[in-house]
Amino acid sequence: MSQENVELTRRAFEAFNRGGVDACVSEGLWSPEIVWDATPSGIPGIGAYRGHEEVKRFFEDDWFRTFPFGEWEVELEEVLDAGDRVFAMCRQHGRGASSGAVAELELAQIATVRDGQVVRVDSYLDRGKALEAVGLAE
């Protein structure tokens, strides 16, 4: 089952790049009860969001309004199996919509999978803390 969870996580990243929250929802990759918790990142003003609509509002109203990108994608760099959880190291690339400035953010995420869907995502800026949280500390 763990390899299936890794593949599901990869597909979720691909879907998100194609069409954001809507793609993850329409392809059945995210549970309706998904929790997207960005509090472990320590980024001020970002919290935990529950359900498709709340997660979608976070990205549309908070994330992309605060960081208005003309181009944006998430590159998955590393994926590690941790049973019902999957560690994913990613790099977000963006180009400012009006400035054209290039921005990049490295982020570790832990996806929790249940019954073939992602039910939770926890985001960290610190790779080591994320590995520790998922039980894969170096």
What's the CATH code, domain 2-133?
3.10.450.50
Give every strand in the sheet of 30-37, ordered side by side: 48-50, 30-37, 117-124, 102-114, 85-96, 69-82
- The pLDDT, as a whole number, for residue 100 is 72
**pTM, rounded to two decimals:** 0.88
User: pLDDT value at position 65?
Assistant: 53
Domain spans in the chain, listed from the N-terminal domain onward:
2-133
Give the pLDDT confidence score for residue 76 in this predicted structure. Answer: 93
Task: Give the span between the Cα atoms of 40 and 4, in whole angstroms.
Answer: 26
**According to the model, what pLDDT value does residue 98 have?**
67
Residue 63 has a pLDDT of 60
Q: Which two tokens stand for residue 46?
A: 């970002």
How confident is the prediction along the chain (138 residues), in pLDDT tens digits per residue? 489 999 999 999 999 989 988 999 999 999 999 999 999 999 888 889 999 999 998 887 766 555 556 666 788 999 999 999 999 999 977 766 667 777 777 899 999 999 999 999 999 999 999 999 999 986
- C-alpha–C-alpha distance, residues 16 and 22, integer Å: 8
